[in-house]
Structure 1
Amino acid sequence: MNAVVKKVWGYRHIVLVVLWLLYIINYFDRMAVLTFLPFIQKDLDLTPVELGQLASVFFFAYSLAQVTAGFLADKIGPKKVMNIAIIVFTAVTALTGVVKTFGQFLALRIGLGLGEGHHFAPACRTINNWFPMAERGRSVSFFATSWAVAPAIVPVLVTSLSFYFFGGEWRPVFYVLAIPGLIGIFALWYFIANTPKEMLDRGRLDKAEYAYITSEQTEQGEAVATDKEAKKKDIGIFLKDGYFYVYTLLLFCQLAVYWGTTTWLTTFLVKQHGLDLKQMGFFASVPYIVAFFAMMLGGWLMDKVMHRMKPVAIIAYLGCIPVLWMLGAVEKGQTGMLLTALLLVGFFINLNFGTVYAYVQKRYPQEVVGSATGLSNGIGQMGSFVSPLVAGYLVKVGTDGSQDFSNVFIFFAIAAAVAALCAIILKENTVKETNEVAADEKQAVI
């Protein structure tokens, strides 16, 4: 029976699609700011350093929120935490349209980071609760495509809204973006439950699918989410695991590359390559169009071919090094080369983006996945904070006001090299008990 349920569409897939849509809404808000960054810079008369500070402060707040989000998801349930997150970032997005000063913008960026930062770990915990181990690589990879799809469509959408409906103004766009947030609040309330057991009790999940979702957990000796004893599982399982910190450094570097590139891409296209509003919207979307397919390929390779995250990660990071370097070296006017570099960057940066988050779910017991995801992503997101900030100081401003980003992309390439080294070191054995961690590390040495 399990084999049959595995092949058909089930309620777990509805949960996954809704989580995916909710995270696209999350990305709409942050990507809209990054898309209009060069024009916000002009309106508020900001320097590249101030622009980097505005980008980075979001990720500082976002990083802190990741840690609390993970623990809250384990304690009060992921649905409640996601609901608070969506309400907060929807309100902050609407207020972004009225910002007048650097200080006001700074405060809103912190608010947006705190709101959006409480969304990711609970979403991962929900996927963990709803999908058996054999499907987590693909389910997390599909979820991760939300941060490929959103960046692919947001630049085109918001620049089109600005150009065709608001006369090139960026402020009214943020008022419009509050509408998807309100829709998301309703979708979360109606479609999502913390565990399959809740939907089984409501009659919206059939017993066969429930048995398929939970049977593998039982076979592996993992307790279901409703088991009171399971909730007391010691977080030392991952805190005492040395490879958890290697993984966290890898995540730090990957997020530094991804968000460093994403943050500065529109400004790079406008300032170094002289693209106008409409051209920039198209070129800024290019890396994320291919990113969707890269993420799905990475998940398929992990689940069906390699059965591990590590080989996918090594391919991704080693590929990032030359293409990031190449992107920063493309000269103005070489649109063909620019387009090629953007496509390659989008592919290699995102190949491992879904599978990297499946690592925690495969290595640690279900009961601590929220905490492990929150802590690792919280520390890892500091890469998102550091990277745009450092990049702001690496931009070379000419006497004529021109800007050169070649050093910025060299910096991103170095971060990718560190991530590759971490991937080589990383081990993926499953850790079930605290006292097994030491044995696992001993076996790795032997």
Structure 2
Amino acid sequence: MRLSYENKLLAILALSFGFVFFDRLALSFLFPFMAAELRLTPAHLGMLASALALTWSLSGLGLGAWSDRRGVKKPMLVAAVLAFSLFSAASGLVAGFLSLLLFRALMGVAEGPVLPISQSLLAAASTPARRGFNMGIVNGSAPGLLGAVLGPPLLVALAETHGWRAAFYLSCLPGLLIAWLVWRHVREPAPAPMPAGRGGGFVSLLGERNILLCVLIACSYITWFIILISFTPTFLIQVKGMSPQAMGAVMSSLGFAWVAWGALVPAISDRIGRKPAMVGFSLIAACCPLVLLNVDRMAWLLPLVFLSYTGLGCFTLFMATIPAETVSPRRIATALGMIMGVGELAGGFVAPTVAGFAADRYGLSIVMWIAMAGALLPALLSLGLRETAPLRLKPSGAVPEADRAPT
């Protein structure tokens, strides 16, 4: 059976962004194998994560906007996939912290534009009724599956059998294949005209209420994600007294929830609307840190963690779907790059350091309360969003700007 272009594009872009997170999280899984040889400490790990988040955010801001202005998507995506694959492999060549820091920072530069460009391509090719589902597969399920479910056992097995350097070297091979798939099968969309009377810059985008709210939501929600993914393993072992095996089971539950809710939340939003989905699932996501704080029995902890880790599905809505349905096609990559970039600066670069200092002073449990606030604030901000889901707007005759024929 021959795939439609929409489904073919969905599969290729899901592989692309999923592999971004495979590479981004690889350092966390391989760090225990590297630390003694390179004389690395947990402080070095924090700096490496912050450096990648910083360059990722700045690159997403700048290159996403550049791709809109120049109308060039496909070549930039090919170059980005090739570059981050090679920089990830180069991590296996390092002799110490500074060279590793350089390669991780360069990897962030290459990875920054992948999401805004991918989602702008997908927005142009998606059927309006399944736009949220498509974007959820790329933004949520694919990185969860490749980065959080398949990545840890595969990378650890490679490190144990062939060494951590070989694990980095081999990690570049899928990227080379994905770059070829993008070049061979992805179409460069026709440039959309800039709407009359509107600039394409960041300031004009912030004049759109939905875009401003999505920027604020991103700052808070990325804080929720980064703090949970970074501090939960240590919290479970040091505060809850879990064994490494039990901690691994909880983290696997988070990974499977990332995959499931990454697709389900956007798909549900296609039916009930973006705004109610953002409010409801953000309130559920705020419960996940409370579950980790208060539930001790594994028989209850694992299913409750899975059921409450819904925030990665909301990421697709505020970081891709709502902006794509709010602005014109010509400005989608710019809007997505800005939301992701500012959110990464606040939640990926600043928040982990603040949470770490707070944990040193008040104990590790404080990070769970910070994470809870990181999901609760987006639930409140989402009350101000204007609805953009095509099926919810049909009765009133309103059409998202992304679905209007260019004039």
TM-score bucket of the superposed structures, by smaller chain: 0.7 to 0.9
Alpha-carbon distance between aligned partners in 1 of 2:43 and 2:379, rounded to the nearest angstrom: 29
Structure 2 match to 1:352: 314
Q: If the length of structure 1 is used for normalisation, what is the TM-score?
A: 0.77
Cα separation, 1, equivalents of 2:87 and 2:41? 24
SS at match of 1:286: helix
Residue 352 (structure 2) aligned to one of 373, 382, 388: 388
What displacement does 1:255 show?
Answer: 1.6
Percent pairwise identity: 23
- Structure 2 distance, partners of 1:227, 1:295, is 29
Deviation at 1:102, TM superposition (A): 2.6
2:268 maps to what in 1? 301
CA contact (8 A) 2:19 2:143 kept: no
**The 10-residue stretch of structure 1 (228-237 or 86-95) with the greater mean CA deviation from structure 2:** 228-237
The AA in structure 1 aligned to 2:386 is: K
Contact 1:62/1:116, CA 8 A, preserved across alignment: yes
Deviation at 1:182, TM superposition (A): 1.3
1:30 is matched by which residue type in structure 2? R
Distance 1:411 1:100, change over 3 A: farther
Task: Tell me the residue number matched to 2:405.
Answer: none
Query: Which of 142, 153, 169 is 2:137 aligned to?
Result: 142
Retained in 2: the 8 A contact 1:72–1:78? Answer: no
Once the two structures are overlaid, the 10-residue window that deviates more, 169-178 or 365-374, is 169-178
Alpha-carbon distance, 1:45 to partner: 4.6
**TM-score of the pair, normalised by structure 2:** 0.84
* 8 Å contact from structure 1 (residues 73, 125) kept in 2: no
1:156-167 equivalences in 2 (<5 Å): 156-163=153-160, 165-166=161-162
1:99, distance to aligned residue in structure 2 (A): 2.9
Q: 1:408 aligns with which of 360, 367, 372?
A: 367
Deviation (angstroms), 1:83: 1.4
Query: 2:90 maps to which residue?
Result: 95
**The 10-residue stretch of structure 1 (122-131 or 239-248) with the greater mean CA deviation from structure 2:** 239-248
Go from structure 1 to structure 2 and tell me whether the alpha carbon gap of 1:353 and 1:11 turns closer, same or farther (over 3 Å shift): same
Equivalent-residue separation in structure 1 for 2:368 and 2:36 (angstroms): 23
Q: Following the alignment from structure 1 to structure 2, what is the Cα–Cα distance between the partners of residues 41 and 337?
A: 35
| Distance in 2 separating the partners of 1:153 and 1:136 | 26
Q: 1:80 — aligned with what?
A: 75
- Is 1:313 aligned to residue 317 of structure 2? no
Contact 1:129 1:194 (C-alpha < 8 Å) held by counterparts? no
Give the C-alpha shift of residue 15 in structure 1: 0.9
Q: Is the 8 A contact 2:210 2:323 kept in 1?
A: no
Aligned residues: 383
**Structure 2 partner of 1:64:** 58
SS in 1 for 2:188: coil
- The 3 A distance-change label for structure 1 pair 314 and 118 is same
Q: 1:355 to 1:291 in 2, by over 3 A?
A: same
For the 8 Å contact 1:152–1:284, the answer to whether it is kept is: no
1:254 aligns with one of 204, 221, 225? 221
Residues 291 and 305 in structure 2, CA contact (< 8 A), matched pair in contact too: no
1:281 CA drift (Å):
5.3
Q: Which amino acid in the other structure matches residue 166 of structure 2?
A: P
Secondary structure at the counterpart of residue 77 of structure 1: coil
Q: Please state whether the residue corresponding to 2:95 is helix, strand or coil.
A: coil
Runs of at least 5 residues in structure 1 that lack an aligned partner in the other structure: 1-7, 196-224, 399-403, 434-446
- Using a 3 Å threshold, how does the CA distance of structure 1 residues 341 and 427 change in structure 2: closer, same or farther? same
- Paired with 2:99 and 2:376, the residues of 1 have a C-alpha distance of 37
Q: Counterpart in 1 of 2:107?
A: 112
Contact 1:131 1:139 in 2 (8 A): yes
Greater Cα radius of gyration, structure 1 or 2: 1
Change (3 A) 1:38 1:416: farther
* Alignment CA distance shift 1:229-1:420 (3 Å): closer
Distance in 2 between residues matched to 1:45 and 1:335, nearest whole Å: 35
Distance of 1:414 and 1:11 partners within structure 2: 41
**Corresponding position of 2:330:** 367
In the alignment, structure 1 residue 154 sits paired with structure 2 residue 133:
no
Gaps of 5+ in 2: 389-398, 403-407
Q: Report 1:202-351 matches (<5 A).
A: 225-226=190-191, 234-235=199-200, 238-268=205-235, 273=241, 275-276=243-244, 282-304=249-271, 306=272, 308-328=273-293, 335-346=298-309, 348-351=310-313
Cα RMSD over matched residues? 2.9
- Please give the secondary structure, in 2, of the residue aligned with 1:193: coil
Give the match's secondary structure for 1:408.
Answer: helix
- Contact map agreement 1:325 1:413 (CA 8 A) in 2: yes
Cα 1:98–1:338, aligned 2, differ >3 Å: closer, same or farther? Answer: farther
| Preserved contact between residue 287 and residue 345 of structure 1 (Cα < 8 Å) | no
User: Equivalent of 1:184, from 160, 178, 183?
Assistant: 178
Q: Distance in 1 between matches of 2:192 and 2:21?
A: 34
CA distance in 2, matches of 1:280, 1:329: 15
Given that 1:73 and 1:121 are in contact with CA atoms closer than 8 Å, whether structure 2 keeps it comes out as: no
SS at match of 1:351: helix
CA shift digits 1:195-224 (9 cap, x unpaired) = 2xxxxxxxxxxxxxxxxxxxxxxxxxxxxx
Q: Distance in 2 between matches of 1:419 and 1:41?
A: 37
Counterpart of 1:420? 379
CA contact (8 A) 1:48 1:393 kept: no
Q: Structure 1: which amino acid aligns with 2:90? A: L
Partner of residue 55 from structure 1, selected from 38, 49, 55: 49
Q: How far off is 1:30 after superposition?
A: 0.8
Comparing 68-77 with 33-42, which one deviates more in the overlay? 33-42
Report the CA distance shift for 1:421/1:238 in structure 2 as closer, same or farther (over 3 A): same
